[in-house]
Structure 1
Amino acid sequence: MRAALAGVGSLDDWQAFAESWNRLGPDPYLARTGRARRRRHAVFTASSDGTIRGEANQPHFQSSEYNRLQGDIERWFEPITDAVADGDCLRTILRYCVAFFGGLSPDVAQWRIEVHQFRIEARPGEAGEPTPEGVHRDGVDYVLVLMVDRRNIESGTTTIHLADGTELGSFTLTAAFDAALVDDGRVFHGVTAVTPFDPAQAAHRDVLVVTLRRS
């Protein structure tokens, strides 16, 4: 995956990009359910010619059809910082997504792109839930999940399912740049909870999630 990304742009600021996960804000909506997650969020618009434009900070919204846990509400999160949004890595990742997924849907002239930085923390006696809504669809066209950092955790296995629940396969993103590319209109996905190998040490799973929806 790293080679594929490098084929469309620079990844020179990867270290700063990965370190930005240390400055994510809390997810206040998830905290209301007794769960913990840290995140930042941003919205972009992309044209089929590859032009990508950052949009003003705005809420993330999913209907209850796709998110039974937190659907039908506008959720406002701390925005992705300008340094990350304008940096080489994120712009390269977005260009890759537009080219790759655009090749699967050549009729789409413009995409709405949402970008999420997620950190799931695993604590002593408390597993971290990467997808607290369970096996689900995001209600978009395509999804990229990119591993950024994985520290002192076990599990976190991604599963892919048909609509009737039949599991098609599973895999675990373990190293930086490991990725899942999902056709959200055709399959469901989920991730198992993560627990720390050493409960005395910090443990987290850092991923970038990019979703594309025709606009």
Structure 2
Amino acid sequence: MDEPGPVEASQCVAVVREAGFCFVHAETMRPALERFATLSDWAMFAASWDALGPDPYLERTGRARRRRHGVFRWAEGTLTREPHQPHFQSLAYNRLQGDVDRWFDPIVPEVGDSASLRAVLGFSCEFFGALAPEVSAWRIEVHQFRIEARSDAAGEPTPEGVHRDGVDYVLVLMVDRANIASGTTTIHSADGTLLGSFTLHDPLDAALVDDARVFHGVTPVTPVDAAKPAHRDVLVVTLKRE
């Protein structure tokens, strides 16, 4: 399946409403984000992925990734950070690690308070709010993920396979990719039919997903040069109505 061409920002809500997902190129995402806050601290924001801790729950399955996690709440136009708490998914949505309270290292304050993250969260609340105008409050979970690939083991961005997250909406934002091949985001119907695919390549490339309607996954990543470090850094934001 050919990767989609650029979608204008003004079209994205309609595309998600019709198809259940939309892929957005960085040149469209940047001005959309900058409507909410400056991205002047993006270099600090992106560098924070170098300080992610290991995912201890995934290590038990013989797999590896690094992550941090934070919870926010949006209500009546106000965004607040909630106390640190576990991430939970039922087995219905995560057959690999479901029905477990998973505690991850918290997103550090300078990242949680950064203009770049505020821009992403402001955009997410407005964009997905346009798809669900009846919602007055959102529970927002923010995940920093680093998937590392080695010459002897491909990195698995979605080790649970093609899945839903058990929320209302999902934003996946590319932060950095270094020395990797593949890592293609795929969207599927409930019967497994491939509906679309797109490789998040440049910083700020994004996937916008209606999680209640479609499934998503990401193909494994492998090093281009086996002698050098290889990683895929993404920010995942989920919104669930209260």
Q: TM-score under structure 2 normalisation?
A: 0.88
Does 2:59 correspond to 1:31? yes
- Partner Cα separation in structure 1 for residue 78 and residue 99 of structure 2: 31
Higher strand content, 1 or 2: 1
Q: Which amino acid aligns with 1:52?
A: L
- Partner Cα separation in structure 1 for residue 217 and residue 134 of structure 2: 29
- Partner Cα separation in structure 1 for residue 216 and residue 156 of structure 2: 14
Contact 1:50-1:99 at 8 Å conserved across structures: no
Contact 2:185-2:198 at 8 Å conserved across structures: yes
1:195 aligns with 222
Higher helix content, 1 or 2: 2
Does 2:50 correspond to 1:10? no
- Partner Cα separation in structure 1 for residue 79 and residue 36 of structure 2: 14
Shift of 1:50: 2.2
Does 2:150 correspond to 1:123? yes
Does 2:125 correspond to 1:86? no
SS of 2:101's partner is: strand
Uncovered stretches (5+) of structure 1, i.e. residues with no partner: none
Contact 1:42-1:114 at 8 Å conserved across structures: yes
2:11 aligns with none
Q: How many residues align?
A: 214
Q: Which amino acid aligns with 1:28?
A: P
Q: Which amino acid aligns with 1:89?
A: S
Structure 1 segments (4+ residues) deviating >6 Å? none
- Partner Cα separation in structure 2 for residue 168 and residue 179 of structure 1: 16
Shift of 1:144: 0.2
1:61 aligns with 88
- Partner Cα separation in structure 1 for residue 41 and residue 196 of structure 2: 33
User: Which whole-Å deviations, capped at 9, do the CAs of 1:25-76 have from their partners, x for residues lacking one?
Assistant: 00000000000000000000001x3210000100000000000000000000
Contact 2:148-2:155 at 8 Å conserved across structures: yes
Specify which of 50, 68, 89 is matched with residue 22 of structure 1. Answer: 50
Contact 2:184-2:200 at 8 Å conserved across structures: yes
User: Which whole-Å deviations, capped at 9, do the CAs of 1:96-115 have from their partners, x for residues lacking one?
Assistant: 00000001000001000000
- Partner Cα separation in structure 2 for residue 201 and residue 212 of structure 1: 36
Q: Which amino acid aligns with 1:14?
A: W
Quick one: percent identity of the two aligned structures?
A: 69
- Partner Cα separation in structure 2 for residue 43 and residue 214 of structure 1: 13
Instruction: Give me the CA root mean square deviation.
Output: 0.5
Uncovered stretches (5+) of structure 2, i.e. residues with no partner: 1-28
- Partner Cα separation in structure 2 for residue 7 and residue 82 of structure 1: 23
Specify which of 192, 199, 207 is matched with residue 172 of structure 1. Answer: 199
- Partner Cα separation in structure 2 for residue 180 and residue 66 of structure 1: 19
